[in-house]
Amino acid sequence: MAGTVTAAAEVGLIGLGTMGGNLALNIAENGFSIAVYNRTSDKTDSFYANAGALAEKLIPAKTLEDFVAAIKTPRAIILMVPAGEAVDEQIAALRPLLSDDDLIIDAGNANYHDTNRRDAASKEGGPRFMGIGVSGGEEGARFGPSIMAGGPKDAWTQVGHILEAISAKHEGAPCAAHLGDAGAGHLVKTVHNGIEYADMQMIAEVYGVMRDGLGLGSDEISKVFGDWNEGILQSYLIEISHKVAGTADPETGRPMLDIILDTAGQKGTGRWTAIEALMLGTPASAIEAAVASRNMSARLSERKSGQAEFGPAPARIVADAVSAKDLEAALVAGKIVCYAQGFGLILEAAKQYGWDMPLPEIAKIWRQGCIIRSAMLNDMSKALAEDPARNLMLAPFFSAKLKETHGALRKVVALGALNGLPVPALSAALSYFDIMRTERSTANMLQGQRDFFGAHGFERTDKDGKGYHGPWAMNTV
């Protein structure tokens, strides 16, 4: 272990949990020497002891002072500690040891409002601050994640080459990019996770149609997912769904899916996406439905009482009422809507904060390394490069796909409704599609109601100007 300390490390990392440890090994493997520190030093010891040949690139430190002293100036320090208070505490502990030239990088799943706040505080004095979203789970952290960076440009100049080197590569191009100032990286990671929730939920919904509607067994369902992974839906989430459905429980021999309790957990980033969409006034209904579905899934005892009270839904549908092709097409349509909403949300946040966010670049760095990586992201990056401000549904490639698939989405949602098979995210996607293709909506009724009870005023279809009122005084209710 390092005793007397010379500043030899190109970067430092605090927090040797699974993600932090894997990221440190990834950095070491890419040839950068890295100082590592953990609040509890036995973890540092065991991490160092298990690092094998990569140990020669590691400089483990027992105290924060030694850790800081081991890093070359200007220092770059990556925090991989739990999001929230632990980050603020770690920054507070580091600040007295660092100079204004140094850089703290929060690589956790931070709420981007916290990142904005920490960025603003750093601009008042003290080390610079950067927030990076890192996606790809444990394996991504170790062998190449997708990295969404936000913060001052000079911070990216300092560490961009390290982040690019450790990131996943898509046909040789690094899946890491500087996406804007302050919380831009964490905002994009949050939306990534919101999309992740919706993508997962829609897959779970078609799984439900196959299991409860068509009576397919897990192996058959696994095969369907496997086939889809060869086509337009090719993606990490379809691939793992194929594997999850095809795996048996070693203890009982039964399909794993029959053993796993149906109450979904969440750490909160999907919820943040929904909250953000509501606050920014931009539709993200498929993501909101996915968050609400996880919340409903968690109410198992209520669901049991519901089933006892109302009886189970009819569920079983005639085998040829819906084909695997229909379900695949419904997922394609749902997925396009979900991304249209996600990118719309990013666009809106960028406007609000004055961030110059490269939308095509975001789609590009999601093509590999992250949980939502998929073949379709390549087409999305092309569509966003043509016109980043256009609703993705209107890009020629995706509008053609939607024209081919929205009928199947409608069929699956309708069959779901008629047979009591819940498809909330797919329904939300369909409603979004239907609303966004309707020039004359029903909000004239809302405006009439608002004006009736609150004199809120409306615009007219036949004249310019605002603040018109209806002749409501003549009505009594």
Residues near ligand 6PG (CB under 6 A): 109, 135-137, 193, 196, 265-267, 269-270, 370-371
- Dist. CA 362–CA 189, nearest whole Å: 10
Contact of 339 with 196, CB cutoff 8 Å: no
Q: Rounded to the nearest whole angstrom, what is the least distance from the CB of residue 111 to ligand 6PG in the complex?
A: 13
Shortest distance, CB of residue 72 to ligand 6PG, whole angstroms? Answer: 29
Q: Which residues pair with 413 in a beta bridge?
A: none
Nearer to ligand 6PG, 136 or 150 (CB): 136
Our CB check for ligand 6PG shows the closer of 109 and 293 to be 109
Q: What is the closest distance, in whole angstroms, from the C-beta atom of residue 370 to ligand 6PG in the complex?
A: 5
Distance separating the N- and C-terminal Cα atoms of the chain: 82
- In the complex, the smallest distance separating the C-beta of residue 193 from ligand 6PG, rounded to whole angstroms, is 5
Nearer to ligand 6PG, 44 or 193 (CB): 193
Whose Cβ is closer to ligand 6PG: residue 122's or residue 146's?
A: 146
Q: Between 137 and 407, whose beta carbon lies closer to ligand 6PG?
A: 137
Known catalytic membership, residue 189? yes
Alpha carbons 343 and 349: distance in angstroms, whole number:
10
- Least separation in angstroms between CB 146 and ligand 6PG: 8
Q: Which residue is nearest to ligand 6PG (CB)?
A: 135
Which of residues 18 and 99 has its CB atom nearest to ligand 6PG in the complex?
18
The residue among 265 and 465 lying less far from ligand 6PG, judged by its C-beta, is 265
- Find the catalytic residue in 196, 276, 288, 328: 196
C-beta of 189: minimal distance to ligand 6PG in Å?
Answer: 7
Residue 10: active-site member: no
Name which of 11 and 175 has its Cβ closer to ligand 6PG: 175
Cβ neighbours for 212, distance < 8 A, ≥ 6 positions apart: 315, 316, 421
Q: How far is the C-alpha of 418 from the C-alpha of 207, rounded, in Å?
A: 17
Least distance from ligand 6PG to the Cβ atom of residue 17, Å? 12
Q: How far is the CB of 270 from ligand 6PG (least distance, A)?
A: 6
Of 10, 57, 189, 335, catalytic? 189
Rounded distance, CA 112 to CA 474, Å?
Answer: 51
SS (H, E, C) the chain: CCCCCCCCECEEEECCCHHHHHHHHHHHHCCCCEEEECCCHHHHHHHHHCCHHHHHHEEECCCHHHHHHCECCCCEEEECCCCCHHHHHHHHHHHHHCCCCCEEEECCCCCHHHHHHHHHHHHCCCCEEEEEEEECHHHHHHHCCEEEEECCHHHHHHHHHHHHHHCCEECCEECEEEEECCCHHHHHHHHHHHHHHHHHHHHHHHHHHHHHHCCCCHHHHHHHHHHHCCCCCCEHHHHHHHHHHHCECCCCCCEHHHHCCCCCCCCCHHHHHHHHHHHHCCCCHHHHHHHHHHHHHCCHHHHHHHHHHHCCCCCCCCHHHCCHHHHHHHHHHHHHHHHHHHHHHHHHHHHHHCCCCCHHHHHHHCCCCCCCCECHHHHHHHHHHHCCCCCHHHCHHHHHHHHHHHHHHHHHHHHHHHHCCCCHHHHHHHHHHHHHCCCCCCHHHHHHHHHHHHCCCECCCCCCCCCECCCHHHCCC
Among all residues, which ones are annotated catalytic? 189, 196
